Every structure is written in C-alpha cells, then in structure tokens.
Amino acid sequence: MPDQLNHLDYYRLPWNYSDNGISWLEPTTDCNLRCEGCYRHLHRNGHKSLKDVRADLEVFKNLRKSDCMSIAGGDPLVYPKIVELVKMVKDMGWKPIINTNGLALNESLLKELKQAGVFGFTFHIDTSQKRPKVHADSEKELNELRLYYARMLARVGDIACSFNATISEKTLHEIPDMTQWAEKHADIVHTMVFILYRSPSLSENFDFYVKGKKIDLDGTYKETNWGGDKTLMAPDIVAKIREVDPMYTPCAYLNGTANPDSLKWLLANRVVFNGKTMGYVSPKFMELVQTLTHLFTGKYLAYTRPRGVSMGKLASFLTGLVDRKMRRIFIRIFSRMLINPRNIFRAAYIQSLMIIQPVNFESDGRQDMCDSCPDITVHNGKLVWSCRLEEMNTYGAFVQCVPKRE
C-alpha cells in the first residue's frame, strides 16, 4: 500500500503562471533518438531560426519571470546554432539549462557551451530509449551511462547536473537502486527526477473534442507496451524510495489544476555527507530559500550551481538556529566530524529528488494539470503547456474530454 502523503505538511512552492522558477524553450523538433511514448512528432517543424527563437524569448520576457530557461525539443544539441542560442538565453537574463539525451554531447562541445554561459544539463536517460552502442535492459545497467555524463560535467566544472527518468509500471521496481546510486554520487549528481509515464489507453473512458468536433486521439499520442497498464501516482514512487531511504520526506510541492491535494511536482532535498543521507531539509528551509531568493533577485530559485549544493553543512547550521529539523541534520553531521576529524574537510551535499506526476483525468472529464506549470512554452506568441503542444500543433486548440455515455 503506497504511503499516504498530506500536501498540507509541505511548502506549496510560490511559483505561478507569470512568476515561476522555470520556463521551457523548444528551438527544434528534431531528435537523434526515439523514446517510447514520446509525445513529439519528429521533424514536424524542424529547426527554428535564431530570429524566431528570440521572438519566443521576448514573449517570455514580456509575460513571465523565470530563474531558468529549459532548452528542450526534440533534442537541442542537434540544433545547429545551439552555442549561439545558449549565449542569447544567458544574455537575456536566464540560466540556460539544456534538456538532452546526451548523444550529441562531447567534451569539446561542452566547453563551448560553458563559454557561452550554460548553467546546467538535465539528461533524459532510461530504458524507454534504444540507444546506439548501449545494451541495457534495466535502469541499473544505465547507471554507468549516467555516471559518464556526470563525470564529464564535473571535469569541465561548475555545471549543474540532473537526470530525468520516465518511470512506468514496468520500471517502478528499479526506483530503489536509482535512489541509492544518486546518493552515492551526490557530489556530482545534483538532481534525480522521476517522471511518471502516462499511457493514452488510460483515457479510454472518454471521448475527445476540439472546437466542438469529435476527434480520434490516436493520431496525437502513440501507444506503447513499455508503459504498462497502471496509472502511477506520486505515492507509488515515495513508497519505493522509502524502501532504501526510510528518512525520505518531501519539503515542497505543486498541486493540480483540478485538485488542490494532488502532488504534481513533489520535491525532496536530502543532505548527503560522506556518502550517507543525514536527513531531508524542512518545508521551512525551502520557504526561506524561495522567499529570500525572490526578495534579493526578483525571481524564484530553480537550479543552483555545484558550489551552492555543496554547502549542506553551513545551510543546516544556519537554518538549524531556528528550525529543529535542520538542527538535527547538523547534529548528525557534527557527530561524524567528532568521530573522525577528517570529516571536517568533507562537504555535505544537498541533492534533490523530484517526482513529476503528469496529467490525470477526473471522472467528469477535467484534466488535472500541473498548476503553475514550470514547463510552459510558447506557441504562436502565447504561453501553453509544453506537454500538450502537439494538440496545439495538430488542432490549433487543446483537446477537451467528455465521459463516454453508458
């Protein structure tokens, strides 16, 4: 039975439609890899010009504050002017974050991107992909590939490193191993994101309409056997994490557009010292971080540089002065320094574990989306959900759901 989670126990991230930690830019629909269940039609539009990309960025500039700009697609590393694009994003005031499968990345390109101002990478790596020269039947076998990219970023230096993995019913059992792997490498792996897979067949109880006309949704979203038959929710992932990390405790969340108690984005930050988790930061800690960042920069924080996440000792000490939960973390660290003085010189890392729970359907046809969506993108000069962009591209409007008559 999945663990029960109460959203009122956590800090509701203050992100909103016009003032958010993240925005989402898609310069290309081209990709050098195909993932099971991908909701992008490859090569539909190809590469945008830098002029068109700048126009999208101007829309963000006029409508929405953001700390980071996620550069996605398609795969942005196949975009021929990715270095120029990263510099443009940086010069316009955002932290450029590249969302990629990593296939086109090498150390030479990485150095160019760092020179251009790249802040971080989020690598999408999981068993839904058929990668050339990579033979892996499990997420555990893919950890070696994840480590390859984490070490590459660490060698070049001062670049945030995150990993996304889409989780289906068939890979749910691998969450414990991925959680332990991330803990072991907290010095160079700063964020681990579990994105729950949604199968088109899970919406079979509804008819679909656009502008009053009934449509066949199969032309927009493709079915795959990889996804399984069960709708996974955040508590399913939490239960698997706690099998190997009983201290796991979320600190913040984003709710749904239909349900205030749904956990669309569920964030937990653990403090890892000498390879072991000392505890999880409190909701008060996250509230303090978001509030102070917005107070002094005018933006809500999304990504932090490696030197920032390595300050777990200082963070737990300072906030421990006013927060009992953070004080307990510091006491655990301090006790280990007393036992072994060498630990005085070791850093404590704040590592994020994020669970993203995509759209699910209410019985009345409402689609429970991520409220204050951090992955908002631009379509024809307007902000739209990136996960439903194909609906706009295909029909010029979002699809509406109506329960089937019995």
Rounded to an integer, what is the distance from CA 199 to the centroid of its chain? 19
Question: Which residues on adjacent β-strands are paired with residue 99?
Answer: 122
Q: How far apart are CA 55 and CA 251, in angstroms?
A: 36
Residue boundaries of the structural domains of the chain: 7-398
Query: Cβ-count burial of 262 within 10 angstroms (0-12 exposed, 13-18 middle, 19+ buried)?
Result: buried
Q: How far apart are CA 355 and CA 196, in angstroms?
A: 8
Q: What is the pLDDT along the chain (406 residues), one digit of tens a residue?
A: 456 799 999 999 999 999 999 999 999 999 988 887 777 766 566 899 999 999 999 999 999 999 999 999 889 999 999 999 999 999 999 999 999 999 999 999 999 999 999 999 999 999 999 898 888 889 999 999 999 999 999 999 999 999 999 999 999 999 999 999 999 999 999 999 999 998 765 566 888 899 999 988 766 666 677 777 788 999 999 999 999 999 999 999 999 999 999 999 999 999 999 999 999 999 999 999 999 999 999 999 999 999 999 999 999 999 999 999 999 999 999 999 999 988 899 999 999 999 999 988 888 989 999 999 999 999 999 999 999 888 898 889 999 989 987 6
Which pTM value belongs to this model? 0.95
7-398: CATH number: 3.20.20
